[in-house]
Structure 1
Amino acid sequence: MKLFGPLLARDFLVQSQMAYEKRVRTIAIYIKIYVASDIFITRYEDKRMRALLIVLRYNDD
């Protein structure tokens, strides 16, 4: 029974680590999309699109 506690704790740590990595990966993907869209917008200089993107960005929070 003494072994069961640490095993459970380790399993929980592994689970939370995996969840954390998944969240970081998701955030990284969002950042890539934002950066790509920023480059796209600066290349084509459409001010209305830039304003729309800023609005979308603040609504995301």
Structure 2
Amino acid sequence: MHSASSMAIPRIASASMVILFAIMLEVITSALCLFISSEGIHLEIYYKLSTAVLM
């Protein structure tokens, strides 16, 4: 029983890290999107770049 509970801790930690990373990525991409659109660069180029990076 003790070993199972100790195994759950790193899983929870890694899950929270993934969630944190996803939130950070979302914030960074939205900030970049705003910056690029304000600069006047076509958003389609940014979208293609972002999808290429994610794939």
Runs of 4+ in 1 over 6 A off after TM superposition: none
Structure 1: 5+ residue runs without aligned partners?
A: 1-5
Answering whether residue 42 of structure 2 is matched by residue 55 of structure 1, we say no
Structure number with greater Rg is 1
Paired residue type of 1:41: I
Structure 2: 5+ residue runs without aligned partners?
A: none
Partner of residue 44, structure 1: 39
Percent sequence identity is: 11
CA deviations over 1:24-60 (Å, ceiling 9, x no partner):
111111111110011112212211xx23321122220
TM-score for the superposition, normalised by structure 2? 0.81
RMSD: 1.3
